[in-house]
């Protein structure tokens, strides 16, 4: 890690967060036990089409982490390691689930280390009952009228219900 003084350690938790789920929230809460500040940062995936706009996702994260005073939301363009350097962060947080995350995460972690050797990648293993959750799965359940409330923070549930309602009415 970089030589940040103890008491000021910042980590960036990057992702698409389209939308943030309870699985993501659990990772933020656990990362706050390791770091003084966690920035939950919406990045741009090269191929994913957005369901919520980037600014909507940032606002939904902000509302979902309002109870966590040492966490904040942001968005970034370009490489996540460059954003980490800009923010004075010493680590990238990634949640790890058993279904196929490892190879991709390993490759990304190695590339990030090669580009920015002072930034560490910290993997947190997702809780067993959150390991199957993903943003697209939740969007799919919601689209087909299934009950998805338990998988998402309340502000996301409300935003998705209002979007589904406005689609149904149009
Ligand atoms: N709980 C629930 N779901 C989780 C999760 C958890 N703990 N951890 C990951 N997921 C899900 C996400 O919801 C997402 O699901 P989806 O595919 O249905 O949308 C999936 O796992 C992976 O998503 P995420 O962690 O958001 O990563 P991503 O592959 O969408 O990458 C960026 C997004 C923004 C981090 C990445 O594209 C990026 O940083 N781009 C910038 C350029 C860069 O630096 N690239 C790396 C170069 S080495």
Distance separating alpha carbons of residues 162 and 59, to the nearest angstrom: 15
**Is 43 part of any domain?**
yes
Query: How far apart (Å, rounded) are the C-alpha atoms in residues 170 and 149?
Result: 23
Contacts (Cβ under 8 Å, ≥6 apart) of 42: 14, 15, 16, 17, 54, 57, 58, 61, 73, 74, 75, 76
Q: Over 90: is that where the pLDDT of 129 sits?
A: no
- Poorest-pLDDT segment among 30-39, 90-99, 115-124, 145-154: 90-99
Host domain of residue 105: 10-164
Q: Is residue 4 part of a domain?
A: no
**Is residue 169 assigned to a domain?**
no
State the average pLDDT over residues 30-49.
Answer: 95
Query: How many whole angstroms separate alpha carbon 127 and alpha carbon 52?
Result: 26
* CA quadruple 106, 112, 118, 123: dihedral, nearest 10: -30
- CATH of residue 103's domain is 3.40.50.620
SS3 at position 159 = helix
pLDDT at 98: 79
Determine the average pLDDT of the residues in 31-41.
98
To test the ligand 1 pocket, which listed residue (64, 135, 156) has its Cβ within 8 A of the most ligand atoms? 135
**Is residue 5 domain-resident?**
no
Average pLDDT over residues 88-114: 92
Which residue has its alpha carbon closest to ligand 1 atom 9? Answer: 95
Task: Specify the number of domains making up the chain.
Answer: 1
In a domain, 3, yes or no: no
Residue 147 in domain:
yes
- H/E stretch holding 125: strand 120-125
Pocket test for ligand 1, best of 16, 27, 121 (most atoms within 8 A of CB): 16
With respect to residue 1, please indicate whether it lies within any of the assigned structural domains.
no
What region does 125 belong to: left with phi over 0, alpha with psi -120 to 50, or beta? beta
Residue 170 lies in a domain: no
The residue with greater pLDDT, 169 or 107, is: 107
User: Between the CA of residue 65 and those of 27, 60, 71, 111, what are the distances in Å?
Assistant: 12, 9, 7, 29
For the entire predicted model, the pTM comes to 0.94
Asked if residue 76 has pLDDT above 70, the reply is yes
Q: What is the pLDDT of residue 156?
A: 98
Residue bearing the bigger pLDDT, 128 or 14: 14
> Considering only CA atoms, which of 24, 102, 93, 107 is closest in space to residue 61?
24
């Amino acid at each position: 890690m970089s030589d940040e003084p103890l008491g000021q350690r910042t980590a960036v938790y990057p992702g698409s967060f389209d939308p943030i789920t309870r699985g993501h929230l659990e990772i933020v809460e656990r990362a706050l036990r390791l770091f003084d500040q966690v920035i939950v940062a919406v990045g741009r995936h090269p191929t994913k089409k957005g369901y919520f706009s980037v600014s909507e996702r940032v606002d939904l994260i902000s509302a979902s982490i309002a109870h966590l005073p040492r966490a904040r939301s942001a968005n970034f363009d370009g490489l996540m390691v460059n954003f980490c350097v800009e923010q004075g962060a010493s680590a990238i947080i990634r949640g790890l689930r058993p279904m196929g995350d490892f190879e991709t995460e390993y490759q990304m972690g190695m590339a990030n280390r090669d580009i920015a050797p002072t930034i560490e990648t910290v993997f947190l293993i997702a809780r067993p009952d959150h390991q199957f959750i993903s943003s697209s799965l939740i969007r799919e359940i919601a689209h087909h009228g299934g009950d998805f409330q338990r998988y998402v923070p309340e502000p996301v549930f409300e935003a998705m219900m209002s979007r589904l309602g406005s689609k149904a009415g149009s």
